[in-house]
Amino acid sequence: MTAYSRRRIITGLAVALAAPTLARAHQVKLPDHFNLTAVQTGRTDWLPGEIHVLPDEFHLYLMGQGGAAIRYGVGVGRKGLYESGVFTVARKAKWPWWRPTQSMIRRDPGKYAKYKNGMKGGPNNPLGARALYLYDDQGRDTYLRIHGTNAPSTIGSAVSNGCARLTNEHVKDLYERVEIGARVTLHPKVTSA
């Protein structure tokens, strides 16, 4: 990530810190702590422009300077499907195309086999309005995503097939702030849920 990119993110955080108004635009009533909020994490070891997902809190943090961050509520992978690690945002898409993985089809063919050839982007697509594609250090697609959802009531729960999901309104905001090359840490779950 370039110095210019970091400055842009930090500038964006300053705007968000001054007036985080997007949370008021929700069509679904979320608990206050899952709404987009400017926070001070106290984590100076988390660098500007990085994303940190804390699955037990159901929060995603986009970091700014000195521990400042924008916090978003998320849904995460259900038991046995959440994968922790450090990844890179290698691609971004608006209204992304989606295809279930072979593992998803094997686990639940009744739900996913009909989509084996994929689904075009749009309001009914499970990836929602935007997607950030997470790659490993060897440049391979992990099939993990940070994406929107057409089921905003799932924010704050562990129900996905491994991805982190935000409301469509929140993922649109995050999408505009995150640069290709941003580091993403999906922190380990401490609870067994």
Rg of the chain over all Cα atoms, to the nearest angstrom: 16
- Among residues 26, 163, 170, 187, the one annotated as catalytic is 163
Q: Closest Cα to residue 174, out of 130, 133, 123?
A: 130
pLDDT in tens, the chain (193 residues): 555 454 455 445 544 444 344 444 446 689 999 999 999 999 999 999 999 999 999 999 999 999 999 999 999 999 889 999 999 999 999 999 999 999 999 999 999 999 999 999 998 899 999 999 999 999 999 999 999 998 999 999 999 988 999 999 999 999 999 999 999 999 999 976 5
Q: Closest Cα to residue 181, out of 134, 138, 130?
A: 134
E strand or H helix that includes residue 40: strand 37-40
Superfamily (CATH) of domain 32-186: L,D-transpeptidase catalytic domain-like (2.40.440.10)
- Among residues 52, 59, 147, 170, the one annotated as catalytic is 147
Instruction: Tell me, yes or no, if 163 is annotated catalytic.
Output: yes
Total-model pTM: 0.84
Report helix, strand and coil shares of the chain as percent, to nearest 5.
25, 30, 45
Instruction: Tell me, yes or no, if 147 is annotated catalytic.
Output: yes
